[in-house]
Amino acid sequence: MSSRPNRYYLRSVVTLLSLAALTVSHAASAVARADNFVLLDHTGKAQELYYQDDASAVIVVAQANACANAASWLPDLKALQENSPDARILMINSQDSRGSIAEYAAANDLDMPVLHDSAQIIGQSLELNQAGEVLVMNPESWEVVYRGYVSNPELAQVVQALSDTEAQTLPAGSLAQATQGADAGNCAIAYTASHEIPDYANDIVPILDKNCRACHVEGGIGPWAMSEYIMIKGFAPMMREVIRVKRMPPWHADPEIGHWQNNAGLSDADTRTLIHWIEAGAPRGEGDDPLLAVKAELPTWPLGEPDLVLEIPTFEIPATGVVDYQFPVVANPLDHDVWVEAATIVPGDAKVVHHVLMGSAEKAPEENDRESVFENYIMGYAPGNESAHMPEGTGVFVPVGGVYQFQLHYTPTGVATTDTTRVALYFAKETPDNFLRQQVVLNPRLKIPPNNPAHTETAYFEFWDDATIYSLVPHSHYRGKSSSFELVYPDGDRELILSVPNYDFNWQRTYSFTKPKVVPEGTKIVHQTTYDNSAKNPSNPDPDREVPWGLQSHDEMLYGSVSFSWNNESSDVPMHSNLTAGSAQFVGFLDKDMDGKLAKEELPERMRERLGWFKWWFVDTNFDGGLDVAEIEAMFSGD
């Protein structure tokens, strides 16, 4: 139930009475209530319909670039937006490319989002057939209280009725006249023809095999198994819902930015096929059920028989409460050096293991040095990210002796349990050409204001030599809303290389480039995350709290993992320095103007006081008024 004051319910009652007299000639076939959906707009931002429930009215308008009639109704739409500031307007384009939509929005000075319905499932479900056709929804119930065209003068009256609890009853009248001449001006929406209902065995099962059943098997991380038709039929409504809001499949990268290995996103064609089949009643069709012919099984080790299996000490997880991060170590049992080329982490109880990070070290870390897991990092586990294979020609060197070290985050589920997580390691048969390196772009000083629906934090890491970037992992907690990685080249050019506009804390994906990004010395990789610390975020533990950096999920992180190699490094001649990397990381989260150095006012207060005026001139060795990475490194090392 909505938490808004009772006056909103009064408004709903009055509005329904006010609109009762309005009729639409095609109402019998029109949608009475809008189901939720998520679409990316022309700027790449995720827009969720039900997130707009704080508006007085939600107005959805069909848009098409080629519609010549738009010249007459766009001014009316802009006037409606100006005169109804409490209402929300969402335009939907179901036929043009996002790039051309963005050009259209710029050319027509549109400051309202134009949603890109690339799979055409939302426009069709709302029965939007002509550009300029408009639906008005009551956000209290998501009922469609008006269907017509922007040019109809009664549209403004309907919107006003939803905005004003004292609105008078609107005069009765038919909106049918608003449809006259609507076909003119190339305004019909060109939906992909769907003449036949998709066939379960030939059309649907192959899509499920390709996109879903790796998780939805007995013993898998999916909550139910796609074992036979009756299961698919029973969960079909849920499948429709999670596809429409982009919750499943759990792949959240913007499809128009970057090309990725093992892309788990549904194609537009497969999305249309699944949704059309479900909306047709999920018919069984003829023939045998292919899901019963071959039983899907979850292999213990998906990458094959490992060279070494490590068992992390068993840990007891209580039924409730907050479990401190665990940092177990396992002695390296081998008597020789190895290069790790792949790994798989399998939790003993996947329900309670939120994530596992793994690295190696010469000795067990001290109490205050547990983050050293990153200094010779091997991989991280989270649901959807169970295995890692090092890029061709690279590996992680693990010398004889020492330990494997871990960071485990457990989340109680209401039932006490134990976990014994196991790790499979695969070693290179020959020495690889280069080391795989890993760097985290972070900001441990973030502070997210209370009740802020869109607070953004940024940090960067500057490559001090030519490098090749292989993969990226954005990470935040319950308040994470969207994330991105952008390259800023030495000449100032910028390139967005990953956008995750609809971040989901439940799925920690590694995004590996199909073609690695080669960057020159001096390139900055900028990581940015936007947080929703408002009551509208259903996952938010406490919107009234200023949220700091913290390991536990009720706190937050700006954390972007980057896997790369140095182009001038080789397995025979190492050049990487963890001290230099740490210094670059330090500069990257404090340097707000991104000029490559830290001015006095950018330093933490205690550090600024400790340096004072006199010591500053001993650390600012080039006397340029700021501390660069080399100067920070010298200060940290005591040189």
Choices 3.40.50.300, 2.130.10.10, 3.40.50.620, 2.60.120.230: CATH for 443-596: 2.60.120.230
Lowest pLDDT segment from 136-140, 352-356, 382-386: 382-386
Q: Is residue 549 within 8 Å of residue 446, measured between CB atoms?
A: yes
What's the pLDDT tens digit per position in 374-432?
A: 889 999 998 878 999 999 999 999 999 999 999 999 999 999 999 999 999 999 999 99
User: Kind and range of the H or E element at 16?
Assistant: helix 6-19
Domain-wise residue ranges, the chain: 6-179, 200-293, 308-432, 443-596
Q: Is residue 556 within 8 Å of residue 548, measured between CB atoms?
A: yes
Percent of the chain at pLDDT above 70? Answer: 90
Q: Which CATH class is domain 308-432?
A: mainly beta
Taking the model in full, what pTM does it have?
0.90
What's the pLDDT tens digit per position in 11-57?
A: 443 344 344 434 333 333 468 999 999 999 999 999 999 999 999 99
Q: Is residue 467 within 8 Å of residue 564, measured between CB atoms?
A: yes
Phi and psi (nearest 5°) for 590?
-100, -25
Which residues does 242 contact at the CB level (< 8 Å), separation at least 6?
Answer: 248
Band of the pLDDT at 366, cuts 50, 70, 90?
Answer: confident
Helix axes 229-244, 268-279, angle to 10 degrees: 120
Which CATH number describes the domain made up of 6-179? 3.40.30.10
| Radius of gyration, CA atoms only, the chain | 28
**Token digits of residue 589:** 């989260």
Per-residue confidence (pLDDT) for residue 594, from 0 to 100: 96
What's the pLDDT tens digit per position in 59-70?
A: 999 999 999 999
Say if 6-179 and 308-432 have the same CATH topology: no
Band of the pLDDT at 170, cuts 50, 70, 90?
Answer: very low
Q: Is residue 57 within 8 Å of residue 161, measured between CB atoms?
A: no
